[in-house]
Amino acid sequence: MIGSGVPSARAPNTHRHREGGIREPVRARERAGCLRDSLLFSWLHMENRGTCAGTAAGSGADGADADERAAFLAALRKIEAAYLNFDTSRPVVIGGKTVTAKRVQPVSGRIGWALAGEDSGLDLPLLISVDGGLTWHDAITADVRAAIEAEKERRRLGEEEAALYADPRKVMKPGPGLVLLPNVTNPGDVILVRSGEPGEVEWQGKTYALKPCKAGYFTYLPIPRSTKPGDYTIGDAQLAVLEKKFDTQHLTVSEEMESMRRNTERIAADQKKIDEARSHSAETFLFDSAFLKPIGGRLSTPYGYTRYINGKFASTHNAIDLAAPEGTPIAAANDGVVALADELYLTGLTIYIDHGMGLFSQYAHLSELRVSTGDTVKKGDVIGLVGSTGFSTGPHLHFTFCAHNTPVNPDLFFGTTPFRW
Ligand SMILES: [Zn+2]
């Protein structure tokens, strides 16, 4: 209704600098009424639209769905209330003059209206503020309209973001404070950090920029396997790192295979390719639903094992190995973009998928690639087939995630999303 333009269509200042002519109190009241109604209706319209991907999917007039939606909207209103910084105690000043206000009503953190008293001398007693009550307007100018649209967009993004969480009120806090998802973790895991404002996070000597997405600002923080258990302070938040034991695995391989690992030149050349592929990540989350396990195979090596090959310490196994017959189709764990699909020396036919914000999934030892570097993939798309290429003793999928180039526990992702950690 704001676009239908009764108040905004008139020339600016008409009511204040009217020259001659006859006062039109009825018309003024109509205009004031229309301005107020258009504002309120536009906000109510937003409240009741309920187009939440997370809760309205497949809904009909079903009672359970309606309850869920009502609970969701109630949660959103609480979040909005937490963001409310509209100061109703400020004097209402218009045209340099302080007027008495019969009522000041915020409708969001920034937008609100005031009803001026009869003694204000204003034709249009209904005023609007788009900056939390600092300044007041008696017409919907282009700037006011733009501010209303920006606020509507902020709330729309808030709705979208809220749909990502199990309990949005616990996560979508206003201000620069950090929310850690989760705030209890293990060495080798990864956490997601959310703030209501842009900024940076210092963690283990590195600086991570919070990137905007929906109504918040985010980064992943890898918790390297070497992290000592204990309590850590990250910004204004506390993180508990628990103790975790990693088992040891002994592998016996042929002398020929073992010698592969000594070709440091080829390994270094591959690493350059991988580093290059992982140096660019989408500046937003490319997924909005739970990750799936790429194959259903038997877990043959869990994440984080310390691995000895032919009796000598080799590496830590920063991935999971899923044993499956040669040729088993491999599904993309979630939506993303193929950052690299190539034959590498140790991991054989290998795929890296960028899921945005510095998160990559990796699929190694494939017998066949079904995607190319640069392809966009959807969760569940077949991207390749299980094989035993590269440094591998039998058909299996070597699968992991990297966050900001640090390998992290893949088990955290299956059947959920970082928003629900
Ligand atoms: Zn492996």
How many Å separate Cα 325 from the centre of its chain? Answer: 36
* Distance from residue 286's CA to the centre of ligand 1 (Å): 26
Measure 234 CA to ligand 1 centroid, in angstroms: 32
| 319 C-alpha to ligand 1 centroid (Å) | 6
Å from CA of 219 to ligand 1 middle: 27
What length is written for the chain? Answer: 421
> Residue 26 class from Cβ within 10 Å (0-12 exposed, 13-18 middle, 19+ buried)?
exposed
| Ligand 1 centroid from CA 24, angstroms | 81
Query: For residue 160, how far is its CA from the centre of ligand 1 (angstroms)?
Result: 37
Q: Is the pLDDT of residue 53 over 50?
A: no
Ligand 1 center to residue 261 CA distance, Å? 14
Q: At what angle do helices 142-162 and 25-49 cross, to 10 degrees?
A: 20
Q: 340: CA distance to ligand 1 center in Å? A: 18
* Separation of CA 204 and ligand 1 centre (Å): 27
Tell how far the Cα of 274 is from the centroid of ligand 1, in angstroms: 17
Q: Could you tell me the distance, in angstroms and rounded to a whole number, from the CA of residue 399 to the centre of ligand 1?
A: 7
Report residue 295 as tokens: 């194959």
Lowest mean pLDDT among 223-237, 304-318, 319-333: 304-318
Q: How far is ligand 1, taken at its centre, from the CA of residue 285, in Å?
A: 26
Q: Ligand 1 center to residue 303 CA distance, Å?
A: 9
Instruction: Give residue 92 CA to ligand 1 midpoint distance, Å.
Output: 67
- Mean pLDDT in residue range 148-166: 92
Cα of 137 to ligand 1 centre, how many Å? 64
Q: Give 208 Cα–ligand 1 centroid separation in angstroms.
A: 29
pLDDT score for 74: 82
Q: Which of 267, 258, 291, 301 is nearest to 360 (CA)?
A: 291
The string of DSSP letters for 249-292 reads: EEE---HHHHHHTT-HHHHHHHHHHHHHHHT---SS-S--S-B-
Note the pLDDT of residue 83: 76
What is the 248 CA–ligand 1 centroid distance (Å)?
Answer: 14
More confident residue, 31 or 120: 120
Rounded to the nearest angstrom, the gap between the alpha carbon of residue 228 and the centroid of all alpha carbons in its chain is 28
Ligand 1 centroid to residue 356 C-alpha, Å: 24
Q: Edge-to-edge, what's the strand order for the sheet holding 329-331?
A: 329-331, 382-385, 368-369
Q: Three-state DSSP class for 297?
A: coil
Gap from CA of 175 to ligand 1 centroid (Å): 42
**Cα–chain-centroid distance for residue 253?**
44
pLDDT for position 29: 52
> If pLDDT is split at 50, 70 and 90, which confidence band does 35 have?
low
Residue 163 in this model has a pLDDT that exceeds 90: yes
Between strands 305-309 and 206-209, the pairing is unpaired
Pick the closest to residue 365 from 402, 314, 327 (CA basis).
327
| Rounded Cα distance, 340 and 383, in Å | 12
Residue 197 and residue 218: Cα distance in Å, rounded? 9
Q: How far is the CA of 321 from the centre of ligand 1 (A)?
A: 5
- Ligand 1 centroid–CA 317 distance in Å is 6
Higher pLDDT, 383 or 25: 383
CA 286/CA 296 separation, integer angstroms: 24
Quick check: 78 pLDDT over 90? no
Ligand 1 mean position, distance from CA 300 (Å): 9
* CA contacts within 13 A on the Cβ side of 46: 23
Tens of pLDDT, residues 265-278: 889 999 999 999 99
* 291 Cα to the center of ligand 1, angstroms: 19
Cα of 376 vs centre of ligand 1, distance in Å, is 25
Beta bridge partners of 202: 207
Mean pLDDT, residues 309-336 taken together: 93
Q: How far is the CA of 374 from the centre of ligand 1 (A)?
A: 25
Query: Is the pLDDT score of 68 beyond 90?
Result: no
Q: Which of 48-57, 194-203, 338-347 is predicted least confidently?
A: 48-57
Ligand 1 centroid to Cα of residue 316, in Å, is 10
Average model confidence (pLDDT) across the chain? 85
Cα 405 to middle of ligand 1, angstroms: 17
> What are the structural domains, with CATH classification, of the chain?
2-171 (no CATH), 178-241 (no CATH), 248-420 (2.70.70.10)
- More reliable by pLDDT, 184 or 88: 184
Beta strands in 72-177 (DSSP E): 92-94, 97-99, 101-106, 112-116, 126-129
Of residues 1 and 183, which shows the higher confidence score? Answer: 183
- pTM score, whole prediction: 0.80
Question: Ligand 1 centre from 226 Cα, in Å?
Answer: 19
3-state secondary structure of 367: coil
